[in-house]
Amino acid sequence: MKIITQILLIVCLGIGIISLAVYEHKRIPGQDYDVRVINGFTNNSSLPLVIWCSSNGRQLGARALQEGDDFSWSLRTNFWGDTHFLCTVKWDERRRLFYAFKVPRDIYRCSLFRKCSWLVREDGFYFSNDEINWKKDFSWL
C-alpha cells in the first residue's frame, strides 16, 4: 500500500510539473497591459470623439478627443481572469459600447508587449498590438 501511494504521488507530481511547463505565462494573473484608444477621424476638428471607460466600478472618467488625441491607461489582470474595461464612445449621433480590454479575448492578441491599441475611425474600430498593423474589428452600429 505504501508503494502504491508513493507511485501515485510521483505520478501526480509529474502531471503537475508538466502542467506548469505547458501553462502559458500570459494566462497567469497579475500581468500588466497598456490600453490606448486613438481618435483616428480625418476631419472632425469641430466635434470631438467622447469616450468613457470603466471596469467593475473603477471609473476612468470621460475624455473629449480631438483628431489624433488618445486616451490611455494601464491595468493588471486579476486572479479570476475576468478583467475587462467597457467603454462608451460617442461622436455626433453615433454611440457605441465596446470592450477596450477583455481577458479571454486580449491576453492572446495583445502580443508579447501586452499592448492593446484601438483606432476609432469614421467607418469603425480598428485593433493593433503594435500600432503599425491595424485590423478592423467592428463597425459603428
> Are the CB atoms for 116 and 127 separated by under 8 Å?
yes
Give the CB-side neighbour count of residue 72, counting CA atoms within 13 A.
13
Q: What residues contact residue 51 under an 8 Å CB cut-off, 6+ apart?
A: 37, 62, 63, 65, 71, 87, 88, 89, 90
Lowest mean pLDDT among 45-49, 52-56, 118-122, 125-129: 45-49
Q: Which three cell numbers stand for residue 82?
A: 475576468
Q: Which fold has domain 29-139?
A: Immunoglobulin-like (2.60.40)
The residues that bridge with 75 in the sheet, in sequence order, are 33
| pLDDT score recorded for residue 57 | 79
pLDDT in tens, 47-67: 899 999 999 878 999 999 999
Categorize the per-residue pLDDT at 30 as very low, low, confident or very high, splitting at 50, 70 and 90: confident
| pLDDT score recorded for residue 18 | 59
Categorize the per-residue pLDDT at 29 as very low, low, confident or very high, splitting at 50, 70 and 90: confident
Residue boundaries of the structural domains of the chain: 29-139
Q: What is the DSSP letter of 139?
A: -
pLDDT in tens, 4-19: 877 777 776 667 555 5
Q: What residues contact residue 66 under an 8 Å CB cut-off, 6+ apart?
A: 39, 44, 45, 48, 49
Mean pLDDT to the nearest integer, 19-45: 74
Query: Sheet containing 94-102: which strands, arranged edge to edge?
Result: 58-65, 49-55, 84-91, 94-102
The mean pLDDT value of the chain amounts to 87
Predicted model pTM: 0.79
Inform me whether the pLDDT recorded for 28 exceeds 70. no
Inform me whether the pLDDT recorded for 20 exceeds 60. no
> Are the CB atoms for 118 and 87 separated by under 8 Å?
no
